[in-house]
């Protein structure tokens, strides 16, 4: 169960990172108003994610440790 949870955390972190990158690219190319229309995201969500980076990295570190371990 731990390995399944670890994989799901890593997949979720990858998707979250891709969404943040896509938002930043659209913001750089079209401005914040246009990127908000395309993705339905706002700067408040990005700020929440920025403050959530430390717990996210802790979860990723735990996930990698679980996947590297030889436990059943």
Tens of pLDDT along the chain (72 residues) come to 788 888 888 888 887 788 778 777 777 777 766 655 655 666 666 666 777 777 778 888 888 888 888 765
| Global model pTM greater than 0.75 | no
The DSSP annotation for 3-72 comes to HHHHHHHHHHHHHHHHHHHHHHHHHHHH-HHHHHHHH---HHHHHHHHHTHHHHHHHHHHHHHHHHS---
Given this model, what pLDDT does residue 43 score?
Answer: 63
Given this model, what pLDDT does residue 34 score?
Answer: 62
Given this model, what pLDDT does residue 42 score?
Answer: 65
Given this model, what pLDDT does residue 14 score?
Answer: 82
Q: Which of 26, 14, 23 is nearest to 46 (CA)?
A: 23
Residue 10 and residue 15: Cα distance in Å, rounded? 9
């Amino acid at each position: 169960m731990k390995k399944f949870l670890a994989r799901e955390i890593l997949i979720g972190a990858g998707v979250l990172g891709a969404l943040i990158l896509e938002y930043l690219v659209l913001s750089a190319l079209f401005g914040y108003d246009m990127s908000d229309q395309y993705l339905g995201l706002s700067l408040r969500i990005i700020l929440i994610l920025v403050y959530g980076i430390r717990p996210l990295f802790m979860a990723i570190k735990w996930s990698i440790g679980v996947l590297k371990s030889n436990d059943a």
